[in-house]
Amino acid sequence: MFKTGLFSRTKSEESKRIYLDYAAATPLEVVVIEVMQKYLHLYGNPSAIHQEGVAAKDVINDCQTRIARLLQIKPEGVVFTSGGTESNNLALLGVVEQLHKTGRAYDSMEVLTTGIEHPSISETILELKNRGVLVKYVKVDEVGKVSLDSLRENLSNKTVLVSVALVNSEIGTIQNIGAIARVAHEVDKSILIHADAAQSPYWMSVELPRIGADIISLDAGKCGGPKGIGVLAWQKRVQLTPVLYGGGQQMGLRPGTESVILIAGATMAIEQAQRKWQERSEKVTKVRNECIKKLKEEILDVILNGAEGEERVANNINISILGLDTEFAVVVLDKNGIAASTKSACSGAGGGESVVVKQISNDTARATSTIRLTLGEETTINDCQKMIQVLKEHVEKMKDY
């Protein structure tokens, strides 16, 4: 039992639910709710030329300009999508199909990625492969960092795109996108670098020049914004073709009537996330580090999956407890007022094997016994105390069976 020092709790803290699944979804920020409410009255179609339509379009244009300014790109390099998944699809398919449309054969193009990407990347990569595009998988090390030597070995004069997550959604490892870009450009400066940055805005800068990416995908639902809205942003040299059809909205790249309310909410959320990412990251890193330390002290055989220190995003704790049914453990935590997960929500409900952990460890037992705990800005040491206590008691109970 934890009763003293950093790990003491009050009765009010014991009675509240503890949310430790911020990588899957975040609560709406108050300022985001306020700005969305502000535009509820804008019912005009942004494509219409009457006053109601123009008023709606003006808001969208303003949001596009603000996002572009934030990301250090031109406004014409910003498209609003339905979320991170669509942004990733448009990035990969949009680049390849644009080249194909200009006469490049599918089998003359090569796309590089890793085996630890989010399903919205890995499944889209398989679709490209089905179309005839050459696909290569770059090796990662035991914490999920891209091997630059493996990258060099796999690059060729056919390579057109490299796609890697800035922050891995399961194990929280941060990739050095700039280093990846430099290696790729040693072979061919025209190679485009795509970064899935859905997990990033709360915790680090997502300015494209600073990251070193040509294209990034964002998801407002991961940084205090509404669900169902994301951003694809790119540098001037990138050319894309649409992958959906039926309208000329958003420069013809993303057909469909835009939602002013969602776009306004997403813009405010991403701005707010970036405004204080350093302060937030420093605060949450301290809680995360203390929580990892206590987990290792209190529960035998806990294995931390992913990188440590500055190479791990501030809010991520991913552990394996060998032999434990972690799907059941997550249910037990939930019944005790604690929300956690076993892996990325988009990888499928329930337990099963973590593809990411299997890739970095080559250990099935470790990959089938993972728990992902992702903290928020309001998560406290006391919240972690309760989680560890419940998990420790459950692990000890399971040993008796």
* 346 flagged as catalytic: yes
| Residue 363, Cβ density class (10 Å: 0-12 exposed, 13-18 middle, ≥19 buried) | middle
CATH number of the domain that residue 318 is part of: 3.90.1150.10
Do 337 and 382 belong together in one domain? yes
**CA 200 from chain center: how many Å?**
6
Rounded distance, CA 205 to CA 259, Å?
26
Do 67 and 213 belong together in one domain? yes
For 79-127, give the DSSP string: EEESSHHHHHHHHHHHHHHHHHHTT--GGG-EEEEETT--HHHHHHHHH
Rounded distance, CA 39 to CA 258, Å?
13
Note whether residue 25 is domain-resident: no
- What is the structure's pLDDT at 395? 94
Tokens of 299: 């529960």
Instruction: Return the amino acid letter for 65.
Output: T
* Residue closest to 218 by CA, chosen among 91, 40, 31, 358: 91
Q: What is the mean pLDDT of the chain?
A: 94
Q: Which of 81-90, 168-177, 390-399 is predicted least confidently?
A: 390-399
* Residue closest to 310 by CA, chosen among 175, 197, 122: 175
What does the CA dihedral 328, 332, 338, 343 come to, rounded to 10 degrees? 0
Do 290 and 262 belong together in one domain? no
Do 271 and 281 belong together in one domain? no
DSSP 145: -
Note whether residue 353 is domain-resident: yes
**Quick check: 349 pLDDT over 60?**
no
Note whether residue 150 is domain-resident: yes
**Quick check: 9 pLDDT over 70?**
no
Do 92 and 214 belong together in one domain? yes
Note whether residue 308 is domain-resident: yes
Do 58 and 168 belong together in one domain? yes
Domain final residue, candidates 275, 299, 328 = 275
Instruction: Answer yes or no: are the C-beta atoms of 54 and 42 closer than 8 Å.
Output: no
Domain final residue, candidates 275, 309, 342 = 275
- pLDDT digit string, tens, across residues 160-214: 999 999 999 999 999 999 999 999 999 999 999 999 999 999 999 999 999 999 9
The number of domains in the chain is 2
**Quick check: 110 pLDDT over 70?**
yes
Do 166 and 43 belong together in one domain? yes
Do 189 and 306 belong together in one domain? no
Do 136 and 174 belong together in one domain? yes
Do 235 and 345 belong together in one domain? no
**Quick check: 243 pLDDT over 80?**
yes
Note whether residue 261 is domain-resident: yes
Do 55 and 100 belong together in one domain? yes
Domain extent at residue 375 = 5-20+277-399
- What is the structure's pLDDT at 343? 72
**Quick check: 4 pLDDT over 50?**
no
Instruction: Return the amino acid letter for 360.
Output: I
- pLDDT digit string, tens, across residues 60-78: 999 999 999 999 999 999 9
CATH number of the domain that residue 140 is part of: 3.40.640.10
* Set 63, 223, 291, 346: catalytic member: 346
Domain final residue, candidates 256, 275, 294 = 275
* Residue closest to 261 by CA, chosen among 88, 44, 70, 85: 44
**Quick check: 11 pLDDT over 90?**
no
Note whether residue 144 is domain-resident: yes
- State the residue for tokens 């639902």: 221
Give me the sheet containing 110-114, strands edge to edge.
78-81, 230-234, 215-219, 192-196, 159-165, 110-114, 134-138
Helices 277-298/260-275 angle, 10° precision: 70
Do 207 and 233 belong together in one domain? yes
Rounded distance, CA 273 to CA 296, Å?
31
